[in-house]
Structure 1
C-alpha cells in the first residue's frame, strides 16, 4: 500500500485527500519511483477545479513533476538501476501518470538522472518551468543575444526560468508583473527591467525600453486585455507566444496591429517539446548544461510537507509566491 493524493469531486484545495492505495507493479517500459519531492503547477489546480485540458474520471490523481529514487522497474527498461536518483519530465497526461504519491510510476523515457548538484527539491522543480520556457524562447522563437524579450507572469516558476534562459543566451529580459510589489525581487533574479501592468502604461514603457524597433518576442501566460499593449509594442515580424490563459476576461484579437506589423500570435504547450524525442533531447541538453554551469537554477518559493497538500495548493493559488512551490516527502 502507498499513500496517494486524489480528489473525488471538483473544487478548491480542500477536495484533495490523502488515501491508501494498492499500486500495480510497473509494466513493460515503466519505472516506479519512491518520491522524495513534488513540484506543484497551476495545471494541477485547474485539473482539481475541473477546468483543465484533461477531463478526468473521478476519483482522480494528479501531479506533473517529481523527483525520487528508482524503486522498481518493468521489463524492457535499460539504462537505469534500482536506487538511481531521478527526476520526471512532465507526462502528456497527469491523469494517466499522476505524480502525487509516495510511489509513482512513469514511462522510463520520461526519467532523467539529474545532476548530483541538484537536491530533491530543486530536481522536482526543474523540468516543467525550464522545458516550457526553453520550448518557447529557444526552440520556437530562436531568441538571440542582445534582443529584448518581454515575459508576463514573471514571478512564476516559468517566468523566472525564462528570465534565466534569456540571460543565459545573452538576451535582455523585461519582466512584467501585476504590481510593483515584486519589482526588487525580480531585479535580483536577473530581470533587466520590471514593469507593473496595473500601475504603468505598458505599451509606452515597453517602447521606451526597446526603442523604435519594438520587442520581437513576447512570452505570455495571461491573455485577456493585455494583448493590446503587448502587440502594440512588438517589432515588425515579431512573435507573441501564448502558453497560458490566467485572465478571466476575453482576449481581443488586435487585427490591425497584427496586419500592419505582420505579427505571429502562437499558442504553445510544453507537450510540443516533450512529445518530440529529438526536440526533447535538445531541450534536456540545453537545460542540463545550464544547470551544470550554474546559469539555470530553480527558484523555490516555499516547501510543504506531504500532509500539508491542501495548504500547499492554497499557497499556490495565492499569487504571493516568487518561484516554485514544492512538497517534500
Structure 2
C-alpha cells in the first residue's frame, strides 16, 4: 500500500517577480480514488504561470504556499482505486486542465486526477513531451475545432515566436493553411520564416492591416489567432476578410479589448482548460499530436532547457525577457 511521502516542489508565498519562487519540501499524500501519482522528468513553462505568480492571471493564487505549473512529463509511480487507464511505469503528461495553484506541477513528483493526465506520445522523450501538450492543444482547439481553419485559408498568428505561436504555425501548415506571423521587431523574422511562416509582419514598424491585405491580394485573412488582446484585437479584425473569424486565447495586454467594425465577422474567446476537460477532446488532440510528431509535421521549438527546480527563477526571467523563441523547459534528474 502506498503511503504519504515528502517531495520537493516550487511554491510561492507572496506575489511578485521570479525571486518569490522557492523550492521546499512538501508532503505528498498517497493517491486516492481516481488519482495518479507520477515522477516528473521535465516541466514546460507557460506565460500564464508568470501572470499567476504576479497576481495578474484571470484567477488568483491562494497564499501563502501556492503551487504553480501547468505542464509536465514523467512516469507513473502509483495509481488510486478506480484508475484503469494507467499503471506504474507508464509515461504520461499533465493535461493542463486544473487550478495550478492547487495541482501545480513544478515538483519532483505530482498527484493529479486521472482526467488531468494523458499518455505521452509513443517514443517521445520527456523534454519534448513537456513542450507539446498545452501549445499544440491550444493551437488545435482554437484553429481547428473553434475557427474551422481550412486548407488554403490565411491565418494571422500574433506573438508567433511564443510556444503557442510556433505550434500554431506548424498546425496551420499541417492543415494546408497559410500562416502569417506577427512579431514586434526584426530579430525573429528569419527564424519565423524558416519555421514556415509564409509572411512575417513586424508590428513595431509595419502596418498589420496593410501588410495582411497586401499579402492576401486585398481580401484579408480568414482567421486571426491572438494571445494579446487589448486595443490591438480590433486591428486584427480589420485585417480579416468578410465573414472571417478572430479567436482570442490570451490577454497579455491588460487594457480593454476593442472589437473591429469590419463586419460581418465571428469573434471567439477561447479557454483551453474547458476543452481539455472533455475526454473526447483529449483523445482527438492526443491523436493529432502523436501522429504529427511521428510524421515530422509537428516538432516543438524549444528555446532553452534549464536543469533542476532551483533554476526555475532563472527560467521565469528568460520567459519574461521575450528574447527566446518557442518553449522553455526545465529538466529534472
> What do residues 181-219 of structure 1 show as CA deviations (whole Å, max 9, x unaligned)?
100000111111111011101111100011232111000
Query: In the alignment, does 2:182 pair up with 1:176?
Result: yes
SS in 2 for 1:217: strand
Q: Distance in 2 between matches of 1:278 and 1:82?
A: 24
> What do residues 206-257 of structure 1 show as CA deviations (whole Å, max 9, x unaligned)?
0001123211100001122322332112111111100111124443333x32
SS in 1 for 2:204: coil
1:285-300, aligned counterparts within 5 Å? Answer: 285-300=287-302
Q: Do 2:15 and 2:53's aligned partners in 1 also have CA atoms closer than 8 Å?
A: yes
Q: Distance in 1 between matches of 2:222 and 2:132?
A: 27
Q: Distance in 2 between matches of 1:49 and 1:121?
A: 26
Aligned to 1:163: 169
Query: In the alignment, does 2:149 pair up with 1:146?
Result: no
Query: In the alignment, does 2:35 pair up with 1:33?
Result: no
Q: Distance in 2 between matches of 1:49 and 1:239?
A: 32
Query: In the alignment, does 2:311 pair up with 1:308?
Result: yes
Which among 49, 56, 79 is matched to residue 51 of structure 1? 56
Which among 2, 7, 18 is matched to residue 12 of structure 2? 7
Q: Distance in 2 between matches of 1:4 and 1:201?
A: 45
Aligned to 1:60: 66
Which among 215, 222, 227 is matched to residue 221 of structure 1? 227
Q: Distance in 1 between matches of 2:239 and 2:58?
A: 31
SS in 1 for 2:271: coil
Which among 269, 272, 275 is matched to residue 271 of structure 2? 269
1:73-152, aligned counterparts within 5 Å? Answer: 73-152=79-158
SS in 1 for 2:101: coil
SS in 2 for 1:282: helix
Q: Do 2:66 and 2:102's aligned partners in 1 also have CA atoms closer than 8 Å?
A: no
Q: Distance in 2 between matches of 1:45 and 1:295?
A: 30
Q: Do 1:29 and 1:107's aligned partners in 2 also have CA atoms closer than 8 Å?
A: yes
Query: In the alignment, does 2:251 pair up with 1:245?
Result: yes
Q: Distance in 2 between matches of 1:168 and 1:13?
A: 36
| RMSD of aligned alpha carbons | 1.3
Aligned to 2:3: none
Aligned to 2:198: 192
Q: TM-score, normalised by structure 1?
A: 0.95
> What do residues 113-135 of structure 1 show as CA deviations (whole Å, max 9, x unaligned)?
22343211110111100000101
Q: Distance in 2 between matches of 1:116 and 1:253?
A: 42
Q: TM-score, normalised by structure 2?
A: 0.94
Aligned to 1:72: 78
Query: In the alignment, does 2:325 pair up with 1:322?
Result: yes
Aligned to 2:21: 16
Q: Do 1:91 and 1:97's aligned partners in 2 also have CA atoms closer than 8 Å?
A: no
Q: Distance in 1 between matches of 2:150 and 2:205?
A: 30
Report how many residues are paired. 325
Q: Do 2:121 and 2:289's aligned partners in 1 also have CA atoms closer than 8 Å?
A: no
